[in-house]
Structure 1
């Protein structure tokens, strides 16, 4: 079989079905009936000799063959869209929805500045923000659901990234924690009990904070794991537990949680944040404008070279 034997409209239908995880959702976007979408899927099943999708609860899930095809179809449709319409891009009239993946600390610290710049430069566009757990579940940057990611540089085929800034981590405790009374000693540091931020529970991601403590020869006792820095700060504020968070988050929101950074021989970590995106949007005019906007919004944060003293927070 060759490409000439396939009605390319069927690939568009498949792309929307896989994106929406719903026949009805794809039908709404195509302005056709669900039965028309089902008929298109039936034709694809015959052509590809594969079930394509199976039902799960109220939704559907792709077969391994469909999951394999999804990124290639998304890239092909996107490239065709760019070739046909890129020259028509106008920031003032762009109505696209851009999706940004960033951890909750960045959602609180960086997203307000990005949103303010968007209202000025892309006034009719929409911004959707998702967490790192959603980035993973949606298929990472290779899938069509997420446009850019702010965080640790992306990896994998077709991933581009550009450095944004570097900052430090700090160890926070509640304002009246016994450890805030004086500079920590190594023995006092080893006695602390920690909250760990695990943004994608159940996934075997490297824990860089644990690595920092291990290199310093300090055993870190983790007694609680939470999915967000916000939850970690809330727990710290209510207990004698401590947590490692980005300095910018502690600076901006430490007073609201009534937490402060501890001083002493604390294993610090430098966080190198990058803007990452996939090859499928690398040359698209709208995506370039969106990435430029993010870089400009983030430029004001500069580089945290000293690891600021937040004990007065």
Structure 2
């Protein structure tokens, strides 16, 4: 039988960090202690619970069935203890939990500020970290615990990754109206005559080129960037056009500098959603963040939330 009078609550914090990170080095960095201290605490935890709790594998630590069962109970216990201490502490003290979301910068531009606002309201002791990723990299990063949730396009096609669909997007043209003589939507000929600013990982070709090629057409790309976040600085005062996901186009237009136009050729819509490692399905904090984000997108779809 465990003698709760002799239990060091700091051991439970170590357990929580190891369960979240599944990596002793990252757990130590998260707690602000040495890796040796984490290893020593793990030895004490194993004696306390009579179970290995975490086994080493080629991909890092793997939680045992006992550890998986313990994780939600320990997280809830630490939350309750934390609430009892709040009256004696500054209510606006530094957040106690780091949560990492992987996403591309078009999603960060379009939805990041609203996610931050909702987290401040609903999960106030959480510090968010946005980390850049894409659909090609997200599955490996989730396995390696580089982030907790991934907001990317498409499905990752990995049986160990859980997926929740959030919606779909299409494409629009963004431009600086101060440099455009014409009015209204772009015609196909005007679109082809303009210089384009390409946003793609390769910097060579993108979805717009693929769509035009299906019609035997080609555009002129004057410059390219790998990041959507650079567009406000590259497009302002420039005659270039950027054909980008509509949610990113809306985010740029909210700055009050740019305008957008429908594309003169039909683009396929693409789906996007949240992804997480299956072992995270038992984590109360991950499920809370997942539900917060999915509820936000449901409101977007019915038009009750203006972003």
Please indicate the TM-score interval, normalised by the length of the shorter structure. Answer: 0.5 to 0.7
Any residues of structure 2 matched to 1:258-273 within 5 Å, and which? 258-263=257-262, 265-273=264-272
User: Is 1:82 the equivalent of 2:86?
Assistant: no
Q: Which runs of 5+ in 1 are unaligned?
A: 1-11, 38-65, 305-313
The correspondence for 2:58, drawn from 51, 66, 69, is 69
d(CA) in 2 for partners of 1:207, 1:85 = 44
Contact 2:22/2:63 (8 A) holds in 1: no
Q: 1:230: how far off?
A: 2.7
User: Is 1:245 the equivalent of 2:244?
Assistant: yes
Q: Secondary structure at the residue paired with 1:105?
A: helix
Between 1:255-264 and 1:108-117, the stretch displaced more is 255-264
Contact 1:154/1:160 (8 A) holds in 2: no
Q: 1:218: how far off?
A: 2.4
The correspondence for 1:16, drawn from 16, 24, 29, is 24
- Could you say if the C-alpha distance between residues 14 and 189 of structure 1 is closer, same or farther in structure 2, counting changes exceeding 3 Å? closer
d(CA) in 2 for partners of 1:165, 1:184 = 27
Q: 1:15: how far off?
A: 2.9
TM (norm. structure 2) is 0.68
Could you tell me which residue of structure 2 aligns to residue 29 of structure 1?
A: 33
The number of residue pairs the alignment matches comes to 254
Any residues of structure 2 matched to 1:105-254 within 5 Å, and which? 105-132=106-133, 136=137, 139-157=140-158, 158-178=160-180, 180-198=182-200, 200=201, 207-254=206-253
Could you tell me which residue of structure 2 aligns to residue 277 of structure 1?
A: 276
d(CA) in 1 for partners of 2:283, 2:140 = 20
- Could you say if the C-alpha distance between residues 135 and 268 of structure 1 is closer, same or farther in structure 2, counting changes exceeding 3 Å? closer
Between 1:76-85 and 1:212-221, the stretch displaced more is 76-85
Could you tell me which residue of structure 1 aligns to residue 53 of structure 2?
A: none
User: Is 1:96 the equivalent of 2:82?
Assistant: no
d(CA) in 2 for partners of 1:115, 1:80 = 34
Contact 1:167/1:303 (8 A) holds in 2: no
TM (norm. structure 1) is 0.67
What CA RMSD, in Å, does the superposition of the two structures yield over aligned residues? 3.8
- Could you say if the C-alpha distance between residues 112 and 223 of structure 1 is closer, same or farther in structure 2, counting changes exceeding 3 Å? same
Q: Which runs of 5+ in 2 are unaligned?
A: 1-17, 41-55, 84-95
What are the Cα deviations for residues 69-124 of structure 1, in whole angstroms up to 9, with x where unaligned?
A: 12xx34x1386543213134447859431111122222232122222222232221
Q: Secondary structure at the residue paired with 2:264?
A: coil
